[in-house]
Amino acid sequence: MTHAGATTHHTSLGLDNRKMAFWAFIGSECLLFTSLISTYLVYKGRSVVGPYPHEILNIPFTSVSTFDLLMSSLMMVLALAAVQRGDMKWGKIWLFSTALLGLVFLGGQVIEFTEFVHQGLTIGTNLFGCTFFVLTGTHGAHVAVGVLWLLTLWVRALQGKLGPANAMTVEITGLYWHFVDVVWIIIFTVVYLIQ
Amino acid sequence: MSEARGLKSWLTTTDHKRIGLLYFWTAFIFFLIGGVEALLIRAQLAQPNGHVVSAETYNQLFTMHGTTMVFLALMPLSASFFNYIVPLQIGARDVAFPRLNAFSYWVFLSGGLLLNASWVTGPLFHAGMLNVAPDGGWFGYANLTERQFSPGPNIDFWLLGLQVLGISSLAAGFNFIVTILNLRAPGMKMMRLPVFTWMTLVTQFLVITAFPVITVGLVFLMFDRFFGTHFYVHEAGATPLLWQHLFWLFGHPEVYILILPAMGIVSDVLPTFSRKPLFGYPVVVYSGILIGFMGWGVWSHHMFSVGLGPIADSVFAATTMLIAVPTGVKIFNWIATLWGGAIRGTTALHFAVGFIAMFVIGGLSGVTHASPPADLQQTDTYYVVAHIHYVLFGGTIFGLFAGIYYWWPKMTGRLLSERLGKWHFWLQFVGMNLAFFPMHFIGLLGMPRRIYTYGPDLGVSTLNLVSTVGAFLIAVSILVLVYNFVRTRRRGQRAPNDPWGGATLEWSIPSPPPVYNFSVIPTVANRLPRWRTEHHGPMTDPPALPPAPIHVPGGSWWPVVAALGLPVMALAPLTHTLWVAFLGAAVLLFGIYRWAFEPFEV
Amino acid sequence: MSEEHQHPTVDVYLRVAAALVILTVLEVGVFYVPAFHAVLVPVLLVLSAAKFALVVMFYMHLKADNTFFTFLFGAPLVLAVGVMVALLLLFFGALTLRGAAGAG
């Protein structure tokens, strides 16, 4: 991606413009997810009809999803390290792997959601359905955008247009990806483990 | 001036100055629309048992008036100054992300058009004209806004329009935060920034933290209305109060988003026309920052009547009273700036001083609201309408108009007529007080808000008539302003670089500035670079011509293309067709990809 | 780019990954072992906060980066936590009418 202009300019704080913008964006997203999580917590236990969380949440399955996402963060950071040192072979491998694990996570969400619907929990069934699906759905949408973003970077790398000179793009992609992972860490605890 | 002309140059512009002008004119037109809505409201209320409009139309009028004024007039008018003036005040050539800046404008325009399309698209929904505009109040309380009680598309227009507008504001928020922090000229330390730029910075932090909350609230409402969820439905175990919390968690910071820029303008205008530095600059800056933080702690003072309980009520009463302190501090600093100064009574100064007086009145009624028992009588009555309009009209609008008269020469190269300006000011000042002061009494005498008519036995008929006269007087004053715009466009006195003797960087360059702003980026040595003070002499203005050609990024089609995707996506729920959402998303993605891979040197 | 930061080595990244895995195992363990149920919530909150901190500080590089980024992220984060706590108190605590009525 051709953002060379932004990085070579001197800035007042000596910090990259895009990196600064992105951290501001992540700060903003904290408020977005907090509103969703707070709603989940405030409405916990208030469903008038079932199914209820303890009847339907699958901890073993979700634990695997959680591991998957955590490992994808490792791959993301390995991808960044590779691109920064100019090792594009491993840069491409790790970028693709991150996206792949992201897709696996999304696949897991699809399986989970389908299973829930079969067991009678849809988005409109009860408050648990509303808050659960909107919260995890928003998170999943963020993962999907991330996968698209990663695959785009991977394709650019295949085209030879990604390298240490524009490693900042990979770094910022990483910030997004890790943030999405961190949100999942919270969701896993608050929704699945604390019932 | 060798700048490109023509429609294409405006559609593809990434120049903050052009974007600022686009914001200005678009916002001003929406301001006029919101004003017409207000006049219709006042015409209806001029007498008891009025029949100028039906109750249903009336609901749409006050909803659209509020929504339009807050989101389509006041915020974008402020944005026009963020865009035009902030890069000049910090000594930059443009904002950090010029294409994102253009994107913000086009998204704002499309959101505003989407909202206002509701006035005329009734027939497309098998309803009459003037039937499907949003009608749930500008704050859209649940569960009135649920599909059960608002079956038509009115609320859908509202929530979709606001979601689109939110994206515009968020994008601009990130842009200006980075711009102000990272693109300052050498020597422009944070505590040398003009107060307008400081207040802009605080405002953008409020935007990026508050808008996500309303986004979530609106998503919940949309899902309730379209996908059968029950986020605000009591029977499902939920509560409409959640909406109120989410809305006001956004809504209170929003009112500071509305007032801080105007306070910033006043803080720049007063010193210029007192020929004296701002009294207590650091304190004014810190107060602004404090107001930003504390603004997050008061939201439930909009909910004193819902039964939060004595502890919650007391906590929010206390925080609300406390927030008056930094505001009061600013007032004293402004007065101290004027005190002993060599006053030049320009129109801009009139509006700035008017701001102080009107905002104090609005602030006083606000403090009375801070007491829950008092508020229980005031809430939902015209007393609150008085408060709102003293702070937002007497405050924000007066401040913005001060900015118009102050920065018009810089932005257009012509001075507005001071004679017409004084007429505008006095007509508006008298009109405003006639319109809104009686509302304190109207409210305390028992007239609720949002009722389309009232009985003669309520005893508020004369006061309402006075208020209506005042509103029309405001309209006359705005006509004077419009006439001023039109007349001075060709015949106005041409403006030099610095018609006022200003202290800050924007006055060191031509009016209007060349496309690259500064022929040479200045090095700043103090807070009042263009003034001679006892500590330093004035800066040397940049030379008329740059020593070497300056690269200026060209335009780009992708911001407007990407922006188009959003209203298309919004059409999907309105038309109940899913594929339209995918089409809109495709347009958005296409625009973003082309944007990302376009060679664009800042 | 004028930013100087030592990149953590791959070694550090792998050790963080191992720590994340262990913490997750502990979390799931606390969930399943009945003996811990009394302290389930505080323990889980601490464990997940630790994972959060590890990812943010090392994978997102916040620890080694300019403190300004910590402010840019930290201030909204603190605000968000404050808002969440306030909402929980408003809906559940003695701040509600029900709560206050019950108290006296």
Tell whether A66 is within 8 A of chain C (Cβ).
yes
The verdict on a CB contact (< 8 Å) between C17 and A70 is yes
By Cβ distance, the residue of C75, C82, C95 closest to B312 is: C95
Tell whether A5 is within 8 A of chain C (Cβ).
no
B535 is catalytic: no
Q: Are A134 and B229 a contacting pair, CB within 8 Å?
A: yes
HSE on the CB side for C4, CA within 13 Å? 0
Categorize the per-residue pLDDT at C8 as very low, low, confident or very high, splitting at 50, 70 and 90.
confident
3-class SS at A77? helix
Cβ-based neighbour number of residue B403 at 10 Å: 28
- Position B320 scores a pLDDT of 97
Q: Total domain count for chain B?
A: 1
Minimum Cα–Cα distance from C94: chain B residue: B311
- Position B559 scores a pLDDT of 97
Q: Which of B84, B59, B76 is nearest to B112 (CA)?
A: B76
Strands (E) located in B186-274: none
Tokens 């009494």 map to which residue? B441
CA-CA distance, B206 to B210, in Å (whole number)? 6
- Which one of the listed residues B147, B230, B449, B594 is annotated catalytic? B449
Cβ-based neighbour number of residue B391 at 10 Å: 22
- Position C93 scores a pLDDT of 65
Alpha helices for B183-300 (secondary structure H) = 195-227, 240-274, 281-294
Chain C hits for A35, CB-CB cut-off 8 Å, are 83
By Cβ distance, the residue of A11, A39, A129 closest to B242 is: A39
- Output the six-digit token pair for B158: 């509202």
- Position B1 scores a pLDDT of 40
pLDDT over 60 at C98, yes or no: no
CA-CA distance, B299 to A117, in Å (whole number)? 38
B541 is catalytic: no
pLDDT over 50 at C99, yes or no: no
pLDDT (tens digit per residue) in B23-76:
999 999 999 999 999 999 999 999 999 999 999 999 999 999 999 999 999 999
Chain A hits for C37, CB-CB cut-off 8 Å, are none
Tell whether B564 is within 8 A of chain A (Cβ).
no
Q: Identity (one letter) of the amino acid at A40?
A: Y
The verdict on a CB contact (< 8 Å) between C69 and A63 is no
Tokens 């029309």 map to which residue? B472
Backbone angles phi, psi at B476, to 5 degrees: -60, -40
**Residue length, chain C?**
104
Tell whether C26 is within 8 A of chain A (Cβ).
no
Q: Does residue C10 or residue A98 have the better pLDDT?
A: A98
Minimum Cα–Cα distance from C102: chain B residue: B309
Tokens 């890069």 map to which residue? B87
CA-CA distance, B531 to B540, in Å (whole number)? 10
Q: Are B293 and B354 a contacting pair, CB within 8 Å?
A: no
Tell whether C69 is within 8 A of chain A (Cβ).
yes
CA-CA distance, B25 to B476, in Å (whole number)? 19
Name, in order, each residue with C-beta under 8 angstroms of C60's C-beta and a sequence gap of 6 or more.
Answer: A174, A175, A178, A179
By Cβ distance, the residue of A35, A48, A123 closest to B236 is: A48
Tell whether B206 is within 8 A of chain A (Cβ).
no
Residue B506 structural domain:
15-597
Cβ-based neighbour number of residue B376 at 10 Å: 12
Q: What CATH number should be reported for the domain holding residue B115?
A: 1.20.210.10
CA-CA distance, B429 to B206, in Å (whole number)? 30
B301 is catalytic: yes
Helix (H) or strand (E) holding B71: none
Cβ-based neighbour number of residue B362 at 10 Å: 23
CA-CA distance, A170 to A150, in Å (whole number)? 9
Q: What is the mean pLDDT of residues B344-349?
A: 98
Tell whether C78 is within 8 A of chain B (Cβ).
no
Q: Which domains does chain A have, with CATH numbers?
A: 14-193 (1.20.120.80)
- Position A7 scores a pLDDT of 46
- Position A109 scores a pLDDT of 98
Average pLDDT, chain B: 97
The predicted model scores a pTM of 0.96
pLDDT (tens digit per residue) in B445-503:
999 999 999 999 999 999 999 999 999 999 999 999 999 999 999 899 999 999 999 99
pLDDT (tens digit per residue) in C74-96:
999 999 999 999 999 999 864 44
Tokens 């964006």 map to which residue? A25
- Position A2 scores a pLDDT of 36
Q: Which of A116, A152, A156, A118 is nearest to A133 (CA)?
A: A116
- Position C6 scores a pLDDT of 57
pLDDT (tens digit per residue) in C16-74:
999 999 999 999 999 999 888 888 999 999 999 999 999 999 999 999 999 999 999 99
Check residue A45 and report its DSSP letter: T
By Cβ distance, the residue of B208, B209, B309 closest to C99 is: B309
B169 is catalytic: yes
Q: What is the mean pLDDT of residues B242-264?
A: 98
Q: B512 CA to chain C: closest CA distance, Å? A: 33
The verdict on a CB contact (< 8 Å) between B170 and A28 is yes
Is B7 a domain residue?
Answer: no
Q: Which chains touch B (3 or more CB pairs under 8 A)?
A: A, C
Picking from B170, B181, B246, B311 by the largest number of C CB atoms within 10 A of its own CB, the best residue to mutate is: B311
Tell whether A71 is within 8 A of chain C (Cβ).
yes
pLDDT over 60 at B410, yes or no: yes
Q: Are B287 and B323 a contacting pair, CB within 8 Å?
A: no
Tell whether A93 is within 8 A of chain C (Cβ).
no
**Residue length, chain A?**
195
Minimum Cα–Cα distance from A183: chain C residue: C52
Q: Are C99 and B312 a contacting pair, CB within 8 Å?
A: no
Across-strand partners of B448?
B381
CA-CA distance, A156 to A139, in Å (whole number)? 26
- Position B467 scores a pLDDT of 98
B138 is catalytic: yes
- Position B465 scores a pLDDT of 98
Which ipTM did the prediction report?
Answer: 0.96
**Assign residue B472 a region: left if phi > 0, alpha if psi is -120 to 50, beta otherwise?**
alpha
CA-CA distance, B511 to B515, in Å (whole number)? 11
Q: Of B102-116, B380-394, C80-94, where does mean pLDDT reach its minimum?
A: C80-94
- Position A3 scores a pLDDT of 39
- Position C96 scores a pLDDT of 46
Minimum Cα–Cα distance from B212: chain A residue: A32
Which residues in chain A come in under a pLDDT of 70?
1-8
